[in-house]
Chain A
Amino acid sequence: MSTRTEHAPLPGVLRVGLSRGWLEIREFANEWESVIFTFSLPALILVMFSSIFDGMFDMGMPAVDYYLPGLIAMGLMSVSFQTLGLAIANERDTGGLRRLRGTPMPPTAYFVGKTVLILFLALGQVVLLLAVGGLAFGARLPQDPTAWVTLAWVFTLGTVSCSLLGIAVSSLARNARSASGIVVLPFLVLQFVSGIFVPVIALPEWVLNAASLFPLLWMAQGLRAAFFPAEMAALEPGGSWDLPSVALALGVWCVLGLALVLLTFRWKTRKDG
Chain B
Amino acid sequence: MSETAIEVRGLRKKYGDDEAVAGVDLTVRRGEVFSFLGPNGAGKSTTVEILAGFRRRDGGTARVLDQDPGTAGRRWRARIGVVWQRETLVPQLTVRAVVRHFAGYYPDPRDPDATVELVGLGEKAGARVTSLSGGQRRRLDVALGIVGGPELLFLDEPTTGFDPRARRDFWSLIGDLAEDGTTVVLTTHYLEEAEALADRVCVIARGRIRAEGAPATLGGRATARATVSWTDGGRRRETRTEEPTRLVGELATLFSGEVPGLSVHRPTLEEVYLDLIGDDERDARAEGEAVSV
A residues whose Cβ falls under 8 Å from a Cβ of B:
1-2, 4-6, 8-11, 15-16, 19-20, 23, 26-27, 30-31, 90-91, 94-96, 98-99, 101-106, 268, 272-273
Which among B54, B86, B93, B108 is the interface contact of A8 at CB below 8 angstroms?
Answer: B108
Q: Are A98 and B54 in contact (CB under 8 A)?
A: yes
Q: Are A23 and B105 in contact (CB under 8 A)?
A: no
Q: Are A102 and B54 in contact (CB under 8 A)?
A: yes
- Which residues does chain A contribute within 8 Å of B15, judged by CB atoms? 273
CA distance A16 to B74 in the complex (A): 13
Q: Are B105 and A103 in contact (CB under 8 A)?
A: yes
- Which residues does chain A contribute within 8 Å of B151, judged by CB atoms? 1-2, 5
**Number of B residues whose C-beta is below 8 Å from A?**
38
Query: Is B10 among interface residues, defined by CB-CB distance under 8 A?
Result: no
CA distance A102 to B78 in the complex (A): 9
Given A6-B75, A10-B74, are A23 and B101 also a contact pair (CB < 8 Å)? yes
Q: Are A8 and B107 in contact (CB under 8 A)?
A: yes
Q: Which has the most chain B C-beta neighbours within 10 Å: A94, A96, A103?
A: A103
Q: Are B107 and A1 in contact (CB under 8 A)?
A: no
Which among B53, B75, B81, B84 is the interface contact of A95 at CB below 8 angstroms?
Answer: B84
CB nearest neighbor in B for A1: B149
Which among B78, B84, B87, B92 is the interface contact of A30 at CB below 8 angstroms?
Answer: B92
- Which residues does chain B contribute within 8 Å of A95, judged by CB atoms? 84, 86-89
- Which residues does chain A contribute within 8 Å of B128, judged by CB atoms? 30
What 0/1 pattern do residues 19 to 61 of B give for CB contact below 8 A with A? Answer: 0000000000000000000000000000000001111000000
Main secondary structure of the interface of A (DSSP, over half): helix
Offer 27 A-B interface pairs, CB within 8 angstroms, sorted by A: A1-B108, A5-B106, A5-B108, A5-B149, A5-B151, A19-B101, A20-B101, A23-B93, A26-B97, A27-B93, A30-B128, A31-B92, A90-B89, A91-B89, A96-B89, A98-B54, A98-B84, A98-B88, A99-B144, A101-B53, A102-B54, A103-B102, A103-B148, A104-B106, A104-B107, A105-B105, A273-B15
Query: Is B91 among interface residues, defined by CB-CB distance under 8 A?
Result: yes
Q: Are B181 and A104 in contact (CB under 8 A)?
A: no
CB nearest neighbor in A for B55: A273
Shortest CB-to-CB span from B149 to chain A, Å, is 6
CB nearest neighbor in B for A4: B108
Given A91-B89, A273-B55, are A10 and B84 also a contact pair (CB < 8 Å)? no
- Which residues does chain B contribute within 8 Å of A104, judged by CB atoms? 74-75, 77-78, 105-107, 148
- Which residues does chain B contribute within 8 Å of A10, judged by CB atoms? 74-75, 78, 107
- Which residues does chain A contribute within 8 Å of B90, judged by CB atoms? 96, 99
CA distance A4 to B88 in the complex (A): 29
Q: Are A102 and B84 in contact (CB under 8 A)?
A: yes
Apart from A4-B108, A20-B101: 9 A-B pairs, beta carbons within 8 A: A1-B149, A30-B128, A94-B89, A95-B86, A95-B88, A96-B89, A102-B52, A102-B80, A273-B55
CA distance A72 to B178 in the complex (A): 56
CB nearest neighbor in B for A106: B74
CB nearest neighbor in B for A8: B107
Query: Is B79 among interface residues, defined by CB-CB distance under 8 A?
Result: yes
CB nearest neighbor in A for B181: A1
CB nearest neighbor in B for A30: B92
CA distance A103 to B98 in the complex (A): 14
Query: Is B62 among interface residues, defined by CB-CB distance under 8 A?
Result: no
Given A2-B79, A2-B151, A94-B87, are A26 and B93 also a contact pair (CB < 8 Å)? yes
- Which residues does chain A contribute within 8 Å of B92, judged by CB atoms? 27, 30-31
Q: Are A103 and B91 in contact (CB under 8 A)?
A: no
Query: Is B1 among interface residues, defined by CB-CB distance under 8 A?
Result: yes
Q: Are A5 and B107 in contact (CB under 8 A)?
A: yes
What 0/1 pattern do residues 98 to 130 of B give for CB contact below 8 A with A? Answer: 000110111110000000000000000000100
Which among B1, B80, B84 is the interface contact of A99 at CB below 8 angstroms?
Answer: B84
- Which residues does chain A contribute within 8 Å of B88, judged by CB atoms? 94-96, 98-99
CB nearest neighbor in B for A92: B89
5 nearest CB pairs, A to B: A95-B88, A102-B82, A96-B89, A8-B107, A104-B77
- Which residues does chain A contribute within 8 Å of B78, judged by CB atoms? 5, 10, 104
CA distance A2 to B82 in the complex (A): 17
CA distance A4 to B79 in the complex (A): 11
Shortest CB-to-CB span from A36 to chain B, Å, is 15
CB nearest neighbor in A for B86: A95
